[in-house]
Structure formats: structure tokens, C-alpha cells
Amino acid sequence: MQHDQIIGKVQALTRLPDRGSAEMATRAVLTTLAERLPSGLTDHVAAQLPPTLAAPMRQAKESAAERAEGPATTSGERFDLTTFAGRIAGRAETDEDAALREAAAVLEVLDAALTPELTEKVAAALPKDIGSLLPVGRAGEDTR
């Protein structure tokens, strides 16, 4: 999927007023997701995205490595849905409720952009509360 397609779908799902807002939301979610995922998985996700959207993920991974003063940790930073929403809200300049809606939309578009196997790996790497934002997570909840 191309950059413009991804941003257009995020804008449509979130009903944000303009593409700039959709771009900001998408980058905020991808950056925060990259902080939470194991570094190898972040690399795989970034490899399946357009370069302009892979960049925030790679930058987040590099920042984590700098904070750790060495190579990027193999496991992602541990935080819950509240922290996830707070970080997205700060980056997207919105409130936490809007950040959760935007995260669900970006993750839905991401689900369509990635191979199904990779989406499953992302879902498995996230705690249940954050994973529930993924279409796979919502589907899993419906069957229980």
C-alpha cells in the first residue's frame, strides 16, 4: 500500500478534518507502536511500509537504542494501553480518547498493509489491552 492510500484511509476512518491531521496521527501511532514492539519485529513492520511511514518506526527504534546506550533491545519497552494512548495523544496533539480512536484506525489500515503472518506476530507481541485495538484482537474478543 502506498503512503497516500494509507493516509487517505486513516483520514476516512478517523474522520479527521485534513490529511495533515491524519498524517500526524499515523506517525504518532507508528512511533508509539515501534517503542512497544521488539526491535526485530519493528524492522519487519517498517520493511512492509512506504519509506515515509517506515522512518518514524526506525527513528523510534534508534532512540530506544540510544537510551539503552547500546544496540536496540530485543524486547520492546513495556507499557500498557493508558501509556500507549498518552504517548499518541502527546504526539498527535489530541486527547487520549481521540488517540485511541486514531490508533484503532491506523492499526486497521496497518492490518491491510501488512502480510497476515506479520499482523499475527504484531498482535502476539502486544499486551491484550493494546492488542484489542487490532482487528485481529477485536475478532478474538468476539469469539470468546
pLDDT at 142: 42
Predicted pLDDT of residue 68: 63
Residue 141 has pLDDT above 80, yes or no: no
Query: pTM here?
Result: 0.89
Q: What are the tens digits of pLDDT across the range 2-42?
A: 999 999 999 999 999 999 999 999 999 999 999 999 989 99
Assess contact for 130 and 80: CB atoms under 8 A. Answer: yes
Q: For residue 62, what pLDDT is reported?
A: 84
Which tens digits make up the pLDDT trace of 50-93?
999 999 999 998 887 776 655 545 668 899 999 999 999 999 99
With b for 16 or more beta-carbon neighbours within 10 A and e for fewer, the 82-112 pattern comes to eebbbbbbebbebebebbbbbbbbbbbbbbe
Q: Which domains does the chain have, with CATH numbers?
A: 3-142 (1.10.490.110)
